[in-house]
Chains A and B, each alone.
Chain A
Amino acid sequence: MKIVVIFIRENTELFPTSGQGPQLSQVVQSYPLQNGWRRIQISQDRELWIHHVEWKPEQQEWQYIRDTLKSVSELYVALHSTTMSRLSSQIETEFRKTFSEAQVFVNTFSRVEGNDIWRHFSDLVVAVQNRESLFDQVAEAIKKKLTLTQRLSILKHRIAHLFLPIDVDLQGLIETGFRQDYWNEVVEAYRDGRAVGNLTQARQLLYGTEGEEDTVEKIVNEAIRQAPTREGEINEAWQQVQSLLPKNGSLPCDYRDVEQILRDLGCQNKREDVKNKCKDRNNPFHQWFVKLNKALDELREALLKEGSTGT
């Protein structure tokens, strides 16, 4: 067997319930379950393996794959980025150790529209023609590892995702003098503390906790390991980011109002408070957010300067 592609997800809901999801689910479930795996023969030397129940590497699923794939020469492993994040490094190490004679490629994927691994995989599962070529496209997509700067870009995008809408809403409110109907719509959009909760989520993306998903801190540490001579420069850029959104404690003095503004955004009766804070301090949220973006851009540029850290 030349190539095997394996998808693993620590959740029974492998497929979304909308779009192509139900069809994919039906096709996959039409294949019998063998020791936790569903195997789809693509051609004589290509096989797609899918695992979509809780993964316990020490148990029989692992033994089964070890025994069955003894002679594999190329192995492509795609792990769902969210649900498998806790186990991803352990699984990668196990695969590399067990199949040391084979070429092993490990990558993560998400089910967002446009994700190459997910897109080609979805096409392959339902395809009746050109299956070999689709299979090779999945393998190619898994092969393409993200660089450190690409990983940082993804995290920066997620942080921006959290704050860009708030930034537009606050600017829009200021523009209209906090018009009541506008305020009502904004309160509805951020009810239940969603806006201030975004600070916690952003901290998670910067620092996370050990063993969980990718974080800016992990990327910085990897970059320094790859280019120890540039530790000072990378750390300087990283400290700038940290100073704007510390791991523990409050935001810096200049932006102390930001947290309160975010907290008040979902409260109907706080219109005057937010208005005054934005007026007195010339929209401190926007100033803070612009600085945070700039600091993340500078960190990315610090990583880009060193050829090896980009990989």
Chain B
Amino acid sequence: MPRPRILIVDDIVEYLHALQRALMDICDVDIAQSLEEAKKVLSENTSLLLVDICLDESKPGVDRGGVEVLKWAKAHYPKIPVVMMSAYRDFDAAVECLNLGATKFLKKPIDIAELKSLVKELVK
């Protein structure tokens, strides 16, 4: 079985690099900071997408750039599971994402052991 490949989309580049380091032993990790970047990287070879809801640092809690990534991914690659994350306790956003086809919604700070288990489970 080929090594799984996941794409993480978040506006904090240092966070992307830290997640890349943390997940490197179980999968290959691509990173993107916006929908445009995600479009370039996402492919049939992607096993899982992990997306922060807010992709604009000037509008945390308001911006829903990650939801656009989710919509685009579901329209073009419906089989790829999408896990959403957010630093906010935003019930409405979580429901909206799940209705749009997200598999799970994680609240930051993320528990890395839990994330690793989730990745292993979803890329099976």
Which residues of A approach B to under 8 Å, CB–CB? 110, 112-115, 149-150, 153-154, 156-158, 160-161, 164-169, 171-172, 175-176, 182, 185-186, 189, 286, 289-290, 293, 297
Contacts and interface: CB of A to CB of B under 8 A. Distances in A.
B110 to A, nearest CB: 7
Contacts of A289: 109
Closest 3 CB pairs of A and B: A172-B22, A157-B60, A114-B56
Contacts, number: 96
Interface string B52-81: 001111111111010000000000000000
Contact of A153 (B12, B19, B61): B61
A167 B109 contact: yes
Contact of A156 (B14, B33, B60, B63): B60
A165 B116 CA distance: 16
A290 to B, nearest CB: 6
A14 B112 CA distance: 41
A293 B12 contact: no
Chain B interface SS verdict (over half): loop
A168 B57 contact: no
A168 B58 contact: no
B112 A157 contact: no
Contact of A175 (B15, B89, B116): B116
Contact of B108 (A110, A112, A164, A182): A164
Nearest to A152: B61
Contact of A154 (B14, B58, B112): B58
Contacts of B1: none
A165 B14 CA distance: 6
Given A164-B18, A168-B22, A182-B21, A290 B109 contact: yes
B17 A165 contact: yes
B109 A114 contact: no
Given A164-B108, A186-B21, 6 more contacts: A154-B59, A154-B60, A160-B108, A161-B14, A171-B112, A297-B88
5 contacts: A113-B33, A150-B62, A164-B108, A165-B12, A176-B25
A189 to B, nearest CB: 7
Given A114-B56, A153-B61, A156-B60, A164 B12 contact: yes
Contacts of B116: 175
A58 to B, nearest CB: 31
B46 interface: no
A167 B110 CA distance: 9
Given A157-B54, A160-B108, A113 B34 contact: yes
Contacts of A168: 15, 18-19, 21-22, 109-110, 112
B109 A113 contact: no
Q: Most A CB atoms within 10 A — which of B109, B113, B116?
A: B109
B39 to A, nearest CB: 15
Contact of A160 (B34, B55, B65, B87): B87
A158 B60 CA distance: 9
Nearest to B65: A114
A254 B93 CA distance: 34
